[in-house]
Structure 1
């Protein structure tokens, strides 16, 4: 197990990348009955990758710490493969996982490290339903090579005992929240503090990613504006600039198996 001292040192490296002003929402890409929206998060430090779906390239030279804007994919089953950038896609991928895209669904596929530092792919369902007036939905996803953590808002625990690759969600008052991440059950800060600007009626997803042992802990964020808009994604330290690796609203990959909503 990593010592508290090691993790505390790692926190100072991660805190440098925590300018998390809410990015602006944009108009949603057109979504038909037989498509779903998919985003991809890259949370493996130090590795630029290419991402394929059923043999078709979705993303090239994808940088760590970025989340794509959502793109439409035909409903169905996809074999997602992640290769080191420029590697022959006929070779062995770094990661591979079968992902099901549902009609009308919103999904994020995250490439990240397990708690013990091994690369893995995890699929998350994005709740983009509307919130009450004056409220904002905050979801935290633990995808870092680090022990279980507590997430605090204004010094008070909001989520406790969050372990990789779990997530937790709460409705909070809109406004600026001063958040940090501490070792579960302790006051030992591992990331933050960071100011989160949570707009009313939005859904905000924060990823704690990187490696404590390698001192690369950081945060990345998606902001959803409800069902009528889609998330904008920021690269840590990019000053709120949106990461848009693919300019098209539609990814051109062929689904292996059509999926029907129930």
Structure 2
């Protein structure tokens, strides 16, 4: 049984600006909006997500990434509760997020390398890629040591640590990917076939806990990178890739922009809990 998580929100200690490069307007005709998606990477905990006291997501299961949510620009108090818990209680996770006009990002609820729950915001790079190419981004959000990510048995990213990400432009096509412990051939996740279509930006999350033996992958795919985006592409869902589910590589799309996140999250696990 997964122990209950207990967290405390600390006072804001500055701001971290996450920005993409030049792009066409993310939301044509709706520039006061922003696109925000959420990834749930805390194993064993189905949650409800609230924004400024209003329920944004219900029964949100681990390993799932949402389709982009269109939100009015402004500051949001994002709260995550165990599913069915009263929003009047203490949230499992909480963070203030400032969303400027035209913004786009994914907010990930996940475990730190030590196994403590935390929230991390990432920008989603949907800038143009060269013909015949696709963008591959890997985000390490698992309670696990450094890893190497391989495609076709060859390292694409090396020594990636939580909560870092790395990105490369690669040849479009189907590749056989896996995640190994850094500097070794010891497979932690996979292998699985990843279909990197021409003109897409593909994000892979390595999530879960090595100690609990539930490491998995989840993906999101942004389309329309072969030319300057002219409109918002949205839809789709997220899914986990595990040794028992190697073919779940979903796709969805979104626009580009800027997100600013403020606040500091301090996590404290219940007595005796360590990832």
Provide the rounded CA distance (Å) in 2 between the counterparts of 1:78 and 1:157. 39
Contact 2:220 2:251 survives alignment (8 Å): no
Are positions 1:135 and 2:133 aligned together?
Answer: yes
Provide the rounded CA distance (Å) in 1 between the counterparts of 2:235 and 2:176. 21
Are positions 1:187 and 2:185 aligned together?
Answer: yes
Q: How many residues align?
A: 219
Contact 2:219 2:251 survives alignment (8 Å): no
Aligned to 1:54: 52
Provide the rounded CA distance (Å) in 2 between the counterparts of 1:174 and 1:167. 20
How far 1:31 moved relative to its partner?
A: 6.3
Are positions 1:219 and 2:209 aligned together?
Answer: no
Instruction: With the length of structure 1 as denominator, give the TM-score of the two structures.
Output: 0.78
Instruction: With the length of structure 2 as denominator, give the TM-score of the two structures.
Output: 0.75
Q: Which runs of 5+ in 1 are unaligned?
A: 1-27, 250-262
| CA deviation vs aligned residue, 1:178-217 (integer Å, no higher than 9, x gap) | 1111111122111111110000000000000111111110
Residue 165 of structure 2 is aligned with which of 164, 167, 184? 167
Aligned to 1:232: 236
Provide the rounded CA distance (Å) in 2 between the counterparts of 1:153 and 1:239. 15
Provide the rounded CA distance (Å) in 2 between the counterparts of 1:125 and 1:52. 21
Contact 2:34 2:99 survives alignment (8 Å): yes
Contact 1:29 1:71 survives alignment (8 Å): no
Aligned to 2:266: none
Aligned to 1:83: 81
How far 1:224 moved relative to its partner?
A: 0.4
How far 1:145 moved relative to its partner?
A: 0.6
Aligned to 1:6: none
Higher strand proportion: 2
Provide the rounded CA distance (Å) in 1 between the counterparts of 2:48 and 2:91. 10
| CA deviation vs aligned residue, 1:10-49 (integer Å, no higher than 9, x gap) | xxxxxxxxxxxxxxxxxx9866111110111111111000
SS in 1 for 2:97: strand
Contact 1:223 1:232 survives alignment (8 Å): no
Q: Which runs of 5+ in 2 are unaligned?
A: 1-25, 255-275
Aligned to 1:120: 118
RMSD: 2.3
